[in-house]
Amino acid sequence: MNTTRFSYPLKKIGLIGGGQLGKMTAQAAREMGFAIYVLDPQIQCPAASIADKHIIGSLYDSVKIRELAHLSDVLTYEIEHVDIETLKQLYDQGYPIYPSPYVLEVIQDKWRQKQVLAQHHIPVPKFQAVDDLNATFLAQAKFPLVQKARRGGYDGKGVAILRSIEDKEKILPVPSMIEEFVAFKKELAIMIARDKQGNIACYPVVEMVFDDRTNICDIVAAPATISPALAEQARKIAVDAICALDGIGVFGVEMFLTQDDQILVNEIAPRPHNSGHYTIEACLTSQFEQLVRIVSDLPLGSAKLLSPAVMLNLLGEAGYQGRPVITGLVETLSIAGLSFHFYDKSITRPFRKMGHITLLADDIETALMALDNVKKTLKIQGEDMIHD
């Protein structure tokens, strides 16, 4: 195909996973005239009604993935937990998939991911694979330490922090790796977009603040309040990490800023990332549009930040489930520069990611104060109370 000539629809993009990242990717694609087909097991998944077609099936269903590939010109995914063997077979037959399933395979296994990064001299916390955190291991272990399931974790799931041998009942009974416990000053993140020619669009360094209750990223402030030198160092490390993986696509690089101002890569997500939602309003090109551009052989857009921004995840309130009921929206939307996103999930659950808001403001401090009020005002409850 001549890349300077597109017939309508510009391209048919197959997307594995139809959650909120899929919905926002689909919206970016549809704005630009792309067709988008989504595979997701849930009939009412967030991306379903934005997509041109929704194939209902498991992300591990080889037949459904092949059906999606057959309909589409190119495949991508919004979640790591997919049938990688099928993707590898398709890829080996020449079917375009971005990021490559071989990159995904490395990232899926947290130990291999760290190993590749360490081999390329990317700074990471000290780590080691451990088949079994048995008595022998624990007897000589240096606490505190972090156990991570090698596969399958997300949003704090699959991670156990062991502060002493007393915490041994927290140990996850799965193949895992252990890492030193990093007493960080800040958690940082950067979105990196890298195209097939190796061109890179690097978004600003942002700061992530996590909810203590859930270990879900709660607030993202863009840009992070760190020195320009540290920001530059973080950007270099993030870019080097994606180059080390030879990643093509959009990547969220999560990093620790340690007490002594070291930057260590914590984890990489091979897809649009919660820490990049602010790019929709605050950057010239959103992370979602970048993914659409990359998989479609279009040039990268500018990642320039137009305005400081703060993003707040809207989680389902504890104690409620069922059809969402939103209170405080009028008060919230009266804040100038605030955008409200709701993910079209028809059922809320405690701490489920139901939406987010982004607030542009001249400075981060003012925006954070406004978000504090939003957190008190805006509630996503369900029609049903959960009784203990």
- The smaller minimum CB distance to a second copy, of residues 258 and 377, is found at 377
Report which secondary-structure segment, H or E, holds 302.
Answer: none
- For residue 317, the 8-state DSSP code is P
Exactly one of 298, 311, 312, 371 binds a second copy (CB under 8 A); which one? 298
Please report the DSSP string for 182-243 in residue order: --EEEEEEEEEEE-TT--EEEPPPEEEEE-TTT--EEEEEES-SS-HHHHHHHHHHHHHHHH
By CB under 8 A, residue 200 contacts a second copy: no
Cα of 193 vs its chain's centroid, Å: 13
- The smaller minimum CB distance to a second copy, of residues 184 and 340, is found at 340
Question: Under a CB-based contact definition with an 8 Å cutoff, are residues 324 and 353 in contact?
Answer: no
Q: At 16, is the secondary structure helix, strand, or coil?
A: strand
Exactly one of 330, 363, 387, 388 binds a second copy (CB under 8 A); which one? 330
Q: In which order are the strands placed within the sheet that holds 159-162? A: 127-130, 176-180, 145-149, 159-162
> Taking contact as CB under 8 A, which single stretch among the options 6-14, 118-126, 206-214, 221-229 is the one that binds a second copy?
6-14
By CB under 8 A, residue 337 contacts a second copy: yes
Task: Tell the burial category of 139 from Cβ atoms under 10 Å away from its Cβ (0-12, 13-18, 19+).
Answer: exposed
166 is in an annotated binding site: no
Question: Under a CB-based contact definition with an 8 Å cutoff, are residues 251 and 388 in contact?
Answer: no
By CB under 8 A, residue 360 contacts a second copy: yes
Exactly one of 302, 318, 319, 366 binds a second copy (CB under 8 A); which one? 302
- The smaller minimum CB distance to a second copy, of residues 327 and 366, is found at 327
Exactly one of 41, 42, 52, 141 binds a second copy (CB under 8 A); which one? 52
By CB under 8 A, residue 293 contacts a second copy: yes
Binding site for a second copy (CB under 8 A): 3-10, 27, 30-33, 49-50, 52, 281, 284-285, 289, 293, 297-299, 301-302, 304, 306-307, 323-331, 333-334, 336-346, 355, 360, 383
